[in-house]
């Protein structure tokens, strides 16, 4: 078993008939993920992937018909908040939102709504989740990782892929990979995932991939220093980024000294974390 998703996950795809939704649904199915249904309003009654997956008009009906217990969201930014509200109202306990560019005000309201219902949100602007050998939810290429005991948590999709590939090239396997998302307002953060890895019997060490902007890495450093018993290796992107510049993500922006890579690395080092200078160095720093 892995954290968040595994072979028992029954996945619903919101926006399944769109180009991105359909493409990645096929990738997830080919990986072995149990995709039980899709939702596109107005297209209920249709089937996709050669009649393998039914499409419903609403999340509520899809859940009642299939018992879906997780959803992945591939809908345009202007509709994404409503998609998350709908999934929350239907009682799905795990939401993974791939969509980027959702207005900050919308996300503030959505997060408060989901927190009140105690629903776990991964993202938005997340590459998703990968539990090698069990389940793939989102857009992380499944062939980048092999099964093992290393937990990976990241704010960056592309860097996630680089690190997974480096681990595979060094014959190091992964228990689970979680892309928390790079937007200013997200669901679960570094600390939440570190808590899961700390409690997971199949995870023996952890890799944290951070970047400039926000204070997620500093919060993680505080948790690692006080609560974490498993070794952690980290890489922080954006060391040369000047103040006021963004690095790929809307959340990766620094103002003055706040959010600087140097500040994050100093906090993590003080917590006993080994810091890699570049992603490919990470395997050599692991115990």
Burial class (CB in 10 A: 0-12, 13-18, 19+), 240: exposed
> How many other CB atoms are there within 10 angstroms of residue 108's CB atom?
12
∠ CA 229-258-213 to the nearest 5 degrees?
A: 70
∠ CA 30-98-74 to the nearest 5 degrees?
A: 70
Give the bridge partners for 52, in sequence order: none
Task: Tell me if residue 75 falls in helix, strand or coil.
Answer: coil
Q: For 29, phi and psi rounded to 5 degrees?
A: -65, -45
- Per DSSP, the chain holds a count of helices (H) and strands (E) of 9, 16
* Residue in this structure with the two tokens 């306990």, named with its chain if needed: 93
User: Catalytic annotation on 249?
Assistant: yes
What span, in angstroms and rounded, lies between the C-alpha atoms of 194 and 223? Answer: 8
Active-site choice (24, 105, 202, 249): 249
Nearest CA to 187 among 254, 88, 267? Answer: 88
**Torsion angle, alpha carbons of 282, 170, 154, 268, to 10:** -20
Give, to the nearest 10 degrees, the angle between helix 216-227 and helix 261-270: 0
∠ CA 152-172-234 to the nearest 5 degrees?
A: 40
CB 68 within 8 A of CB 91: no
CB 18 within 8 A of CB 75: yes
| Residues recognised as catalytic | 249
């Amino acid at each position: 078993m892995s954290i968040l998703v595994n072979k028992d996950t029954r996945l619903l795809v919101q926006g399944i008939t769109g180009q991105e939704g359909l493409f990645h649904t096929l990738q997830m199915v080919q990986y072995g993920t149990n995709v039980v249904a899709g939702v596109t309003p107005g297209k209920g009654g249709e089937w996709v992937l050669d009649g393998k997956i039914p499409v419903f008009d609403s999340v509520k009906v899809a859940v009642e018909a299939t018992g879906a217990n997780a959803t992945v969201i591939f809908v345009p930014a202007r509709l994404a908040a409503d998609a998350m509200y709908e999934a929350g109202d239907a009682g799905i306990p795990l939401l993974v939102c791939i969509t980027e560019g959702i207005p900050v005000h919308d996300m503030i309201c959505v997060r408060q709504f989901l927190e009140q219902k105690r629903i776990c949100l991964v993202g938005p602007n997340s590459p998703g989740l990968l539990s090698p050998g069990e389940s793939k939810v989102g857009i992380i290429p499944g062939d980048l990782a092999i099964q093992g005991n290393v937990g990976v948590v990241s704010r960056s999709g592309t860097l996630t892929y680089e690190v997974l590939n480096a681990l595979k090239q060094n014959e190091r396997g992964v228990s689970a990979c979680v892309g928390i998302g790079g937007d200013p307002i997200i669901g679960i953060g570094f600390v939440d995932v570190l808590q899961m890895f700390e409690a997971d019997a199949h995870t023996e060490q952890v890799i944290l991939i951070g970047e400039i902007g926000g204070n997620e890495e500093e919060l993680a450093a505080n948790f690692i220093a006080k609560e974490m018993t498993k070794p952690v290796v980290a890489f922080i992107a954006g060391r040369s980024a000047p103040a006021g510049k963004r690095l790929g993500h809307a959340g990766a922006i620094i103002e003055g000294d706040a959010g600087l890579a140097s500040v994050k690395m100093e906090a993590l080092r003080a917590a006993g974390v080994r810091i890699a200078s570049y992603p490919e160095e990470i395997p050599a720093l692991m115990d």
